[in-house]
Amino acid sequence: MTKPLVGILDPFFFEVVEEIRRDLRVLFGTANPMTLAISGTGTAGMETAVSNFSGPGTKLAVFVSGFFGDRIAEMGRRHGASVVRCEKPWGETFTEAEASEFLDRERPQLVAFVHAETSTGALQPPLAITRPARALGALVIADCVTSLGGVPIDADASGIDIAYSCSQKGLSCPPGLSPITVSPRAAEHLKNRDNPVWYLDLKLISDYYDAPHKYHHTAPISTFYALREGLAAIMDEGAARRYARHQRCHQEFVRRIEALGLSMHVAPGRRITTLNTVRVPAGADDLEIRKRLLSGHGIEIAGGFGPLAGKIFRIGLMGPLATDENIELFFSAFSQCLAHAATSV
C-alpha cells in the first residue's frame, strides 16, 4: 500500500486489476468474465448484488437464519422488490427439501442466501438452494463475505449466479474492496436496465474495468495494491492447500473445544472452518471472558449478537492466523480465562 499511486486510467493499474480478477476467479471457482472488485466494503458488494438484480416488480426470496440474511432482505425491500423470507433459527441451515418447498410455493425471480453466515458460523451448502431455484429459472445470489479465500465456493459448479465478498476476511487484506462475480446469464439481465444506484451500477463499472476503460469513479488504488498482494500470497500457498489448512486447524480447534467440555453452536458438517462459534458455558459471562482474553493475552474474539448475544463466542481462524501455534496460544489463554470465570462465579 505504500507503493506510489498511479492514475486511475494508467495501464499499470489495469495490470494490477487483471491479476486481481484472474485470482478472484480461482477463489470464486468460476470462469465468469464479469468478476471484479467493487470500491466499497462487503456491504457495498451486497448492495451491488441486490440493486443490480432486483427492484420494483422483482420477487426476491431470501433464506434467513442469521444477521446478514436479514440485511439482504432489508436491502431488497428498500430497492422496491417484493421480498419473501424463509426463516430458521440463527445457526441452522436449509435442506434442499425445505428450500424446494418454499421456492416452489413462492416462485421468485431472484433468490438469495448466505453461504457463510458471519453472525452464526453456519455454512449453507449451495446446491440445496441453487437446484430448486434454478429449476424455476431464478437467478441466485450468494453472500460469500466470510467464505471467499477460506473455504471452497465453486460458484460455477454450485449454480451460483452472483457471489460477493470482502477483502478483509478469507483474503486477509485490509478492508475496502468487495470482490463480486456475475454469471453470463445474470449479466444478460443487466443489459435491459439501469441500476438506480450509479456508484454500484455493474454495467458502468464493467465498462471501466474492461477495455477501453471508460472512466466511472476513482478506484482506491492503494487498496487494490493490497488486494493484489494478498491474492498473490494465497496463490503462492495454493487455494486447495489453504482450504485444507483451514480444515485441519478447524478440526483441531473443535477437538480441543470439546476436550474442554464445551460445545460448538453449529451442527457438524455445517460449520465454517474459518469462523468457529462456541457456546458460552452456562453461568459464564462472555463479555468478561472476552475482555480478559484481550487485556491479559492480546487476543480478540467476538461475541454473539441478536438472538445469540451472550450465547456464543465467535473465534476467527483464517488466513495467516490458522496455524497450530495460534491454536496452542489461544487454548492456553482461553482455558485460563474460562477457569477464572468459573472461580469468580
Binding site for a second copy (CB under 8 A): 1-2, 5, 7-8, 39-44, 47, 51, 71, 74-75, 78-80, 166, 168, 174-176, 194-200, 216-223, 226, 300
Minimum separation from the CB atom of position 132 to a second copy (A): 27
Task: Name 312's bridge partners.
Answer: 279
Minimum separation from the CB atom of position 249 to a second copy (A): 21
- CB-nearer residue toward a second copy: 305 or 331: 305
- CB-nearer residue toward a second copy: 56 or 269: 56
Q: Tell me which H or E stretch contains 276.
A: strand 275-279
Instruction: Give the torsion sign (CA, 38, 39, 40, 41).
Output: positive
- CB-nearer residue toward a second copy: 173 or 322: 173
Minimum separation from the CB atom of position 180 to a second copy (A): 13
Minimum separation from the CB atom of position 54 to a second copy (A): 12
- CB-nearer residue toward a second copy: 49 or 84: 49
- CB-nearer residue toward a second copy: 51 or 273: 51
Minimum separation from the CB atom of position 29 to a second copy (A): 24
Single-letter residue type at 57: G
DSSP codes, 48-97: HHHHHH--TT-EEEEEESSHHHHHHHHHHHHTT-EEEEEE--TT----HH
Q: Which of 327, 322, 200 is nearest to 256 (CA)?
A: 327
* Number of alpha carbons in the 13 Å side-chain half-sphere of residue 104: 9
